[in-house]
């Protein structure tokens, strides 16, 4: 049973525009969320996180929004750059150590 879902397998965006990647979860006990970026032949790289006590966290061009009532989080990348082209995974944890549940990923392509 997939507790974290990324329903869009792929997304294409023009360079300079906003990329919005979405993630839904089913477990109301999740209270810590992360986004990772993955290039081919490499392991995922941590991007940004958010805890359930916040609804927004920013780091440069990356902003994560959390809507607890909807069990939904999103990653905004502004402005998008060709180097952002990668697979993005969201992950969630319920404060049980490092047991994270990952989504299936969204492949982002930023078109120059």
Partner 1 sequence: KAGVTQTPRYLIKTRGQQVTLSCSPISGHRSVSWYQQTPGQGLQFLFEYFSETQRNKGNFPGRFSGRQFSNSRSEMNVSTLELGDSALYLCASSPLSYNEQFFGPGTRLTVL
> Given the rule CB under 8 A, which residues bind partner 1?
2, 4, 6, 32, 34, 36, 41-46, 49, 89, 91, 93, 95-105
Q: In whole angstroms, how far apart are CA 35 and each of 4, 84, 112? A: 12, 13, 24
Are the beta carbons of 22 and 39 closer than 8 angstroms?
A: no
Nearest to partner 1 of 77, 87 (CB atom): 87
SS3 17: coil
Of 5 and 15, the one with the shorter C-beta distance to partner 1 is: 5
- Give whichever of 41 and 53 is closer to partner 1, judged by the CB atom: 41
CA angle 73, 20, 80 (to 5 degrees): 135
Instruction: Pick the closer one to partner 1 by CB: 77 or 103.
Output: 103
Can you read off the two tokens belonging to residue 58? Answer: 């920013």
Q: How far is the CB of 74 from partner 1 (least distance, A)?
A: 17
Greatest Cα pair distance, the chain, in angstroms, is 42
Supply the minimum distance, in Å, between the C-beta of residue 105 and partner 1: 6
| Minimum distance, C-beta of residue 36 to partner 1, in the bound complex (Å) | 8
């Amino acid at each position: 049973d997939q507790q974290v879902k990324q329903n869009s397998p792929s997304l294409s965006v023009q360079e300079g525009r906003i990329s919005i990647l979405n993630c839904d979860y089913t477990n109301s006990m999740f209270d810590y969320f992360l986004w990772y970026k993955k290039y081919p032949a490499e392991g995922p790289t941590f991007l940004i996180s958010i805890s359930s006590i916040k609804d927004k966290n920013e780091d440069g061009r990356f902003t994560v929004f959390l809507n607890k009532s909807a069990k939904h989080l999103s990653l905004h990348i502004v402005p998008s750059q060709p180097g952002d082209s990668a697979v993005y995974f969201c992950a969630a944890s319920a404060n049980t150590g490092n047991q994270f549940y990952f989504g299936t990923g969204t492949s982002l392509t930023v078109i120059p």
